[in-house]
């Protein structure tokens, strides 16, 4: 995975598989400290202490189809390569929080990638999940909350093609408005 948006997609899909009802994705660009921090929290089934200890082992996974779990080890390595860090917390029946930071200006920091495409894909495939995406850059912030969108569109499904077009455009405009990094 060469873009942060693909890591977000992987972790959010893991949250959905873990029966999360809410997935919160927070991206914070701190220009003062030259730090990009990403946090993805869910209220899914969580992990046991044994699972948590093994989460960075690429040969360990709870998936039945693919017998390797490269997503989190690759994200941890990407953070380390860009002067950052990786942390994960999880409790059974409570959920999981993945936090990762990068030096914002580091030459080896992965680009954000197609955040609009990632978020639209998650919403399209999981309309029942409450997704909250918050992107903060300095004092400016953009927030996408699928529950708020559902309240506005009433009987129209959130994964209707016209709603998804609106969401994609709203994300693009919101990130442009706050001058989010690429």
More confident residue, 63 or 17: 17
Q: Which fold has domain 4-177?
A: Heat Shock Protein 90 (3.30.565)
What does the pLDDT look like over 149-176, one tens digit per residue?
Answer: 999 998 999 999 999 999 999 999 999 9
- Res. 7: pLDDT tops 90: yes
Q: Give the pLDDT band (50/70/90) at residue 61.
A: low
DSSP letter for each residue of 55-120: TT-TT--S-SS-S---HHHHHHHHHHHTT-EEEEEEETTTEEEEEEEEETT-TTPPP---HHHHHH
% residues pLDDT > 70 (the chain): 92
- Per-residue model confidence (pLDDT) at position 67: 44
pTM: 0.92
> For residue 125, is pLDDT > 70?
yes
* Average predicted confidence (pLDDT) for the chain: 92
Q: What is the DSSP letter of 22?
A: E
Residue 57 has a pLDDT of 76
Q: Please report the pLDDT score of residue 6 as a whole number.
A: 94
Residue 24 DSSP label: E
74-123 confidence digits (pLDDT tens): 999 999 999 999 999 999 999 999 999 999 999 999 999 999 999 999 99
pLDDT of residue 71: 85
pLDDT at 56: 82
CB 112 within 8 A of CB 181: yes
- Domain spans of the chain? 4-177
pLDDT for the residue 68: 45
């Amino acid at each position: 995975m060469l873009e942060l948006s693909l890591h977000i997609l992987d972790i959010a899909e893991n949250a959905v598989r873990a029966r999360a009802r809410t997935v919160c994705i927070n991206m914070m660009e701190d220009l003062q400290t030259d730090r990009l921090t990403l946090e993805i929290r869910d209220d899914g089934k969580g992990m046991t202490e044994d699972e948590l200890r093994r989460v960075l082992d690429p040969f360990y996974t709870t998936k039945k189809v693919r017998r390797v779990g490269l997503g989190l080890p690759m994200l941890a390595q990407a953070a380390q390569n860009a002067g950052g860090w990786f942390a994960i917390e999880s409790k059974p029946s409570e959920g999981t929080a993945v936090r990762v930071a990068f030096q914002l200006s580091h030459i080896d920091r992965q680009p954000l990638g197609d955040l609009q495409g990632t978020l639209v894909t998650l919403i399209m495939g999981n309309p029942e999940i409450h997704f909250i995406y918050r992107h903060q850059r300095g004092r400016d912030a953009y927030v996408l909350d699928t529950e708020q969108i559902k309240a506005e569109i009433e009987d129209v499904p959130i994964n209707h093609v016209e709603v998804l077009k609106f969401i994609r455009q709203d994300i693009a405009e919101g990130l442009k408005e706050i001058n989010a990094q690429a």
